[in-house]
């Protein structure tokens, strides 16, 4: 029983223990839901063997316990860097391309009449300076609106994070 299995399956020698029962390794894999890596004969045995299915329960409880203990740790305690989602490069490139295509007519117009662009820049500059003065004015409404708006935005983001963050298991009895 030591023939080499395909790479996506556990080898026989890892799957069987003494007495014809499944090994701890196979039982742990089954308890973890890794059924696709356990050879079908081993799974068939576990399904019909009371001893092995009892041990699957043990392995599942051990897994549950280990997961709960590890979840207590701070991220800084980790040895391996957390798995990060890959940066969606393709989506960013497509987004930029669409934005560029959308802006293209305006850019072409602006390039055809550079004088207009030259006049627009000082107007935009004066507008930005005026907005800055209004916002920084201590008794001004604009500043007040900005402060309250920012506070509301922060509260909204905080509520969003609280709802999205994984919670500890809550079971109502």
Partner 1 sequence: MLSALMSTALLAGPAPVSVPEQTAELRPVVRSVVACVLKERPDHADVEDCTNEALRRALESQSELRGPLRPWVLGIARHVALDTIRARQKQRARTAQLQVPEDASSTNLLDRLADPSEGADAKLEQAERARRVRRLLATLPEGPRSALELFHLDGLGYQQIAERLGVPLGTVATWVTRGRRAMAEALEADERGGAR
- Our finding on whether 3 is near partner 1 (CB under 8 A) is no
Distance CA 50, CA 53 (A): 5
Residue from 1, 3, 19, 82 touching partner 1 (CB under 8 A): that is 82
> Collapsing DSSP states into helix, strand and coil, what is residue 54?
helix
Binding mask 84-113 for partner 1 (x = CB under 8 A): ------------------------------
In angstroms, what is the minimal distance from the CB of 48 to partner 1?
11
Q: Are 72 and 37 in contact (CB under 8 A)?
A: no
Residue 104 or 158: which CB sits closer to partner 1? 158
Least CB distance to partner 1 at residue 53 (A): 5
Which residue is listed with tokens 């696709």? 36
**68 interacts with partner 1 by CB under 8 A:** yes
Compute the least distance from the CB of residue 87 to partner 1, in Å. 17
- Binding residues for partner 1, rule CB under 8 A, total 54
CA distance 8 to 96: 39
Chain centroid to Cα 119, Å, comes to 47
Question: Which tokens belong to 15?
Answer: 């799957």
The contacts of residue 2 (CB under 8 Å, 6+ apart) are 11, 12, 13
Would you tell me which residues interact with partner 1 (CB under 8 A)? 7-11, 14, 24-25, 28-34, 37, 47, 50, 53-54, 56-74, 77-80, 82-83, 165-173
């Amino acid at each position: 029983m030591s023939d080499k299995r395909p790479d996506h399956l556990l080898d026989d020698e890892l799957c069987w223990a003494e007495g014809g029962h499944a090994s701890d390794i196979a039982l742990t894999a089954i308890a973890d839901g890794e059924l696709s890596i356990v050879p079908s004969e081993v799974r068939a045995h576990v399904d019909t063997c009371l001893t092995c299915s009892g041990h699957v329960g043990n392995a599942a409880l051990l897994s549950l316990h280990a997961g709960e203990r590890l979840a207590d740790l701070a991220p800084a305690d980790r040895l391996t860097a957390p798995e990060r989602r890959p940066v969606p490069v393709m989506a960013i490139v497509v987004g930029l391309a669409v934005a560029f295509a959308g802006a293209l007519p305006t850019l072409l117009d602006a390039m055809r009449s550079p004088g207009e662009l030259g006049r627009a820049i000082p107007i935009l500059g004066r507008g930005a300076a005026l907005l800055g003065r209004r916002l920084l004015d201590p008794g001004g409404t604009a500043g007040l609106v900005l402060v309250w708006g920012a506070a509301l935005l922060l509260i909204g983001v905080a509520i969003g994070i609280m709802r999205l963050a994984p919670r500890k298991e809550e079971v109502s009895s």
